[in-house]
Amino acid sequence: MEKTLIILKPSAVQRSLIGEVIQRFEKKGLQVCGMKMMQLKNEILNEHYAHLAHLPFFQRIKDSMMASPVIVCCLQGKDAVRVVRSMAGVTNGRDAAPGTIRGDYSMSVQENIIHASDSVETAAIELKRFFKDEEIFEYAFNPMNFLYAGNEV
Ligand code: UDP
Ligand code: MG
């Protein structure tokens, strides 16, 4: 099943939106396969945002990502990359459609709450960048056994 990476940026962590954002993905039906808090550093951001290195405000974008710890999360589901990207909304929070995460929680281009991988190929590279193999979990996703003990059904 397809996996993707999200990062809850300092704008999510500092505004106490971790739970709300993760809850949206859980309610949608995506499976959380890995999750941890990290303090990002310049080196990993140079890799992660290499496509923005030419921008005059590249350092400002990186500083924003280092301003506090972030939450990195692996989400799994059919077409997970596309589904998660569409739930995130377009980059500029002021343009993002209501109902998307950026549309509902952000007024900014930079402080836009969430990173989401933009293709299946990128997702694989980004998951390797932020997670060790043993931090991604393959597990059955079936609530019945957790609603009842075997002798109750
Ligand atoms: N960004 C910014 N100003 C820009 C372009 C990007 O502050 O003009 C920041 C913004 O936080 C964005 C991130 O850099 O989410 C990565 O940019 P990208 O173009 O990959 O957008 P995304 O894939 O996050 O929508
Ligand atoms: Mg991007």
Tell me the per-residue pLDDT of 89-131, one tens digit each, with 9 for 90 and over: 999 999 999 999 999 999 999 999 999 999 999 999 999 999 9
pLDDT (tens digit per residue) in 13-48: 999 999 999 999 999 999 999 999 999 999 999 999
Residue 46: the pLDDT is 98
Residue 65 belongs to a domain: yes
**Residue 100's domain is classified under what CATH number?**
3.30.70.141
Give the containing element (helix H, strand E) for 6.
Answer: strand 3-8
Residue 76 belongs to a domain: yes
Residue 52 belongs to a domain: yes
| CA 144 to ligand 2 center in whole angstroms | 37
Taking alpha carbons only, the member of 78, 69, 3 closest to residue 36 is 69
pLDDT (tens digit per residue) in 57-76: 999 999 999 999 999 999 99
Residue 143 belongs to a domain: no
Q: Is 115 in the pocket of ligand 1 (CB under 6 A)?
A: yes
The reply to whether 115 belongs to the active site is yes
Residue 26: the pLDDT is 98
pLDDT-derived band at 152, boundaries 50, 70, 90: very high
Q: Is 112 in the pocket of ligand 1 (CB under 6 A)?
A: yes
Residue 73 belongs to a domain: yes
Q: Is 108 in the pocket of ligand 1 (CB under 6 A)?
A: no
91 Cα nearest atom in ligand 1: 25
d(CA 107, CA 43): 28
90 Cα nearest atom in ligand 1: 25
Q: Is 86 in the pocket of ligand 1 (CB under 6 A)?
A: no
Distance from the Cα of residue 150 to its chain's centroid: 35
Q: How many domains does the chain fold into? A: 1
What's this model's pTM, rounded to 2 decimal places? 0.97
Residue 3: the pLDDT is 98
d(CA 88, CA 119): 14
Residue 87 belongs to a domain: yes
Residue 149 belongs to a domain: no
Q: Print the domain residue range for 121.
A: 2-138
Summarize the confidence of residues 42-55 as an average pLDDT: 98
